[in-house]
Amino acid sequence: MNPPAIETNGLVKTFGDNRAVDGVDLTVPSGTVYGLLGPNGAGKTTVVRMLATLLRPDGGAARVFGHDVLREADAVRSRVSLTGQYASVDEDLTGTENLVLLGRLLGHGKRAARDRAAQLLAAFGLTDAADRQIKKYSGGMRRRIDIAASILNTPDLLFLDEPTTGLDPRSRNQVWDIIRIVVASGTTVLLTTQYLDEADQLAGRIAVIDHGRVIAEGTPGELKSSIGAGTVHVRLRDAAQRPAAERVLAEELGTTVQLEADPVALTARADGSSRGAAEQASRALARLAEAGIVVDDFSLGQPSLDEVFLALTASTSQAVPA
Amino acid sequence: MTTTSAQTYTPSTDTLSAVLSRGAAPARPSAWSASLTFGWRAVLKIKHVPEQLFDVTAFPIIMTLMFTYLFGGALAGSTREYLQFFLPGIMVTSVVMITMYTGVGLNTDIEKGVFDRFRTLPVWRPAALVGMIFGDVLRYILAATTIMVVGLILGFRPDGGVMGIVGGIALLVVFSFAFSWIWTMFGLLLRSEKSVMGVSMLVLFPLTFLSNVFVEPSTMPGWLQAFVEVNPITHLVTAIRSIMSGTPDMPEIMWTFIASGALVLIFGTLTMRLYNRK
């Protein structure tokens, strides 16, 4: 059987006293999108940099397609590409120059490198910007040239470190579409993100990382159902009615209700167990109206990353015997 | 072919799938070819930011004019007379001082995301740095040529003729290439551009001034002569003067080559160790 695209055992990286990555075990099968989900400083980028041979692990082992990232770094490098958090292209050079430079470094002849650059620029809608310096590109265009550079020789494994952070919604959707097409061609993708939404859209499996450890792992569906099917957000007109609203929601949804800092806002999880989450929510809304509580805004949404973290960290602390 | 404007771009499955190459990747480039490609990057950077050539043209001209007219009359009776002694030395001083920009440049360049990409490429590891120094070598040649032209205009007339001038500049460029590896090491070792500058100045000022560039060492006190004698800049200047005057001093030339080899070996190794660790 082919080795998995990525396999790590007890991977550790420390910076001074800080254990940035503290014993991470991952297995990423070939041909899938795997999401590393976590807040800033969770250790996602450090994991990626170790796997991309940019940082030496301080402990544990990591293999990419069966090649050890330390001992067989060159074999790893010939099969991976990295699109870093900050544009991994030369800002002073033009789009064409960047791609020709990389093409030459990857072993293409002068002519072939030029042709390849033109072809990629066209496919990424950057033909018009081909002769402009990257520093004059918009955020979305930078991301695209960055991904184009990463697939110059289409890699077997592509690292995308927060590919949509700071992008407007349109550019974000473009990047998502590109990632889907790249994966369909057979490339494995390791994606880091702070957005549950993004991991949900793209990844087949997700590892949630916090303080350098994997605190949960599974498909997006498994992760979400482990913490409830959805979250009900309610805004009242009158803050005085909040205690009454809290009682109604707790009763109807069967969960604890969280009182937000905003005095008119409440949040509660719908577990979706007996009936669908949407039905639970609509019944709750009806009960609030019956009780004479004025509701200005009512929505059922996916749990946010904050809520995933709250739920996951709460469940791990419960698991530890007091 | 239709052009797509950036605003209306929609990723198309057909065109994107077509550019995803599943064929065999080409063979990796040789160490030499990869270094030359990185050298080409340095040339492109000069093309896009030509102002950076200011320090390799204006600075050497000012150095030459300033010291020729400041010291010429006092030290040799006339500026023209002094120039025959002084020009090869000020050429060495200016170019060796310019080598520090290699460290400063690397220090700022390495912090940018593009180095992450370079370091994940399956190419000969030192190529990115060797190529960068190749680009700097062009700057050294430009600076040396500028000074030589100014010198010739002011009345520098070496007995070695054109061959002597070209040979002298060539030896200087070889030494400067080797000397640059000291600064790549500091560029990787030190945290900021400013500290690289500071350390460079601390090394370069004594090294260039406490030499035989400006005056004959025989006029100096004994302890200073001892330092000047072992200073590599003294050996380099002696070698270049001899080449330019048409009477090559073989031991001094050999000394320069050996020193250059040693610099690359020691500081090149230290640089690569830091580069791989960064």
Q: Is the pLDDT of residue A214 over 70?
A: yes
Give the chain B residue whose CA is nearest to the CA of A112.
B26
In the three-class reduction of DSSP (H, G, I as helix; E, B as strand; rest coil), residue B25 is classed as coil
Which parts of chain B sit beneath pLDDT 70? 1-7, 22-23, 278
The answer as to whether B4 is a domain residue is no
Which of B3, B9, B108 best tests the A interface by mutation, with the highest count of A CBs <10 A? B9
Determine the residue among A76, A80, A90 to mutate to test chain B binding: the one whose Cβ has the most chain B Cβ atoms within 10 Å: A90
Cα–Cα dist A274/B104, whole Å = 66
Tens of pLDDT along A101-113? 999 999 999 999 9
Residues 230-249 of A with CB under 8 A from B: none
Q: Which of residues 98-117 of A touch B (CB under 8 A)?
A: 101-102, 104-109, 112
- Does residue A296 share a domain with residue A162? no
For residue A10, the enclosing domain spans 6-79+155-224
User: Could you tell me if residue B21 is inside a domain?
Assistant: no
pLDDT band at A321 (very low <50, low <70, confident <90, very high): very low
Residues 177-206 (A) with a CB less than 8 A from some CB of B: 177-178, 181-182, 184-187
Q: Angle CA(B240)–CA(B246)–CA(B250) in degrees, nearest 5? A: 60
- 8 Å CB contact between A203 and A273: no
A260 and A164, same structural domain?
no
Q: Is the pLDDT of residue A317 over 70?
A: no
Which pLDDT band, with edges at 50, 70 and 90, does A5 fall under?
A: very high
Judgement on whether residues A289 and A196 belong to the same structural domain of the protein: no
User: How many domains is chain A built from?
Assistant: 2
CATH code of residue A275: 3.30.70.100
- Is 70 exceeded by the pLDDT of residue A301? yes
Q: Does A88 touch chain B (CB under 8 A)?
A: yes
Backbone angles phi, psi at A61, to 5 degrees: -135, 150
The CA distance from B43 to A164, in Å, is: 32
For residues A160 and A294, state if they share a domain.
no
Residue A300 forms beta bridges with which residues? A232
- Look at A126 and B6 and tell me if their CB atoms are within 8 Å: yes
Question: Is B179 domain-assigned?
Answer: yes
Of B12, B34, B117, the CB nearest to A88: B117
pLDDT at A304: 65
Q: CATH no. for residue A61?
A: 3.40.50.300
In a domain, A38, yes or no: yes
User: What confidence score (pLDDT) does residue B18 get?
Assistant: 79
Cβ-defined contact of A133 to B114 (cutoff 8 Å): no
Q: Cβ separation of B29 and A105 shorter than 8 Å? A: yes
Of B10, B16, B113, which has the smallest distance from its Cβ to A88's Cβ?
B113
B231 occurs within a structural domain? yes
Higher pLDDT, A231 or A105: A105
Picking from A224, A247, A274, the residue at the C-terminal end of a domain is A224
Same domain, A72 and A161: yes
Domain count, chain B: 1
pTM here is 0.82
In a domain, B126, yes or no: yes
B15 is a domain residue: no
Across the A:B interface, residue pairs with CB atoms under 8 Å apart total 144
- What integer pLDDT is reported at residue A315 of this predicted model? 53
User: A319 lies in a domain?
Assistant: no
Look up the domain containing B240 and give its range. Answer: 30-277
Residues of A whose CB is below 8 A from B122: 74, 77-78
What is the average per-residue pLDDT within A214-227?
82
Contact indicator for A129, A95 with CB cutoff of 8 Å: yes
Classified as helix, coil or strand, A216 is strand
- pLDDT, tens only, A243-255: 999 999 888 887 7
Question: Which of A80, A87, A124 has its CB closest to that of B113?
Answer: A87
Q: HSE on the CB side for A242, CA within 13 Å?
A: 17
Let me know whether A298 and A213 are in one domain.
no
Is position B105 within any domain? Answer: yes
Percent of chain A with pLDDT over 70: 92
The reply to whether residue B121 touches residue A88, judged by beta carbons under 8 angstroms, is: no
Is-contact A62 A7, C-beta < 8 A? yes
> Is B12 domain-assigned?
no
Q: Are A114 and A120 in contact (CB under 8 A)?
A: no
For tokens 């057909």, name the residue. Answer: B14
Q: Please tell me which of A52-56, A194-198, B4-8, B166-170 the model is most confident about, judged by mean pLDDT.
A: B166-170
Residues of B in contact with A90 (CB under 8 A): 41, 45, 112, 114
- Let me know if residue A109 belongs to a domain: no
